[in-house]
Amino acid sequence: MTLAAPPIQNVQRRVVLNGVSWALYQSLLAEVGDRPIRLTFDQGRLEIMSPSPLHEHVEKIVARLIEAYADAMQIEVEGLGSTTFDREDLQKGLEPDECYYIANAPAVIGKQKLDLTVDPPPDLAVEVDISPPDIARQPIYAALGVPEVWRYDGRRVTPLRRNDDGDYIAIDASPSFPDGPVDELNRLLSIGLSRGQTAAVRALREWLNSR
């Protein structure tokens, strides 16, 4: 794999456990706390993943671009980072790499705790899949009702939209940010990987000013 960036360690450690109870999953979530570890739970299967520096680097660049674009375009967004979203009735749970409430931002602003049986899921989740997960995450997002996922596969970001069948299909433009071309997002991401996060945000502002 070739990226326009200085060499960055690309090791994502994954462990999968079978026969894990919901109670044990919740205990592990409490034990992990705010540490940079992702837990994916799907009906008794649990994957524990430790993100690589490249994974976190891509995640942060995309987050800064989303937030800078939303601010410039006066789009209200409420970012919840890698908050755990889970539902015991579905026996599913995960942490996005980044997530945002956009259309549903007013429904969650000011809330300190969310219940997905009552509250809406995020409008947008960001997934950095440099190496494929052992437990498929898109079916979990679909079950939780997340309408849009941006997936980075080690080369580029592709927006995916949940259809009526609960599957995610690639789309040309994000419903959340319809005036933000995907090709431009990937150009800015390349700038961030090669020249730094601040350079990517500055390039975004230059592009917006030139329109």
Based on its alpha-carbon atoms, the radius of gyration of the chain, rounded to whole angstroms, reads: 17
Structural domain total, the chain: 1
Provide the pLDDT for residue 206.
Answer: 97
In a domain? residue 129: yes
Domain residues for the domain of 171 are 52-210
pLDDT computed for residue 2 by the predictor: 31
- State the pairing for strand pair 148-152/124-128: parallel
Residue 190: which CATH number?
3.90.1570
Helix axes 53-72, 197-210, angle to 10 degrees: 30
* Helix (H/G/I), strand (E/B), else coil: 5: coil
pLDDT along the chain (211 residues), means of 10: 38 86 97 91 96 93 97 96 97 98 96 95 96 92 98 95 95 90 95 97 96 84
Q: Is residue 16 part of a domain?
A: no
In a domain, 205, yes or no: yes
What angle do the packed helices 197-210 and 182-195 form, to 10 degrees?
A: 140
Q: Give the model's pLDDT for residue 12.
A: 67
Give the pTM: 0.90
Tokens of 33: 């706390």
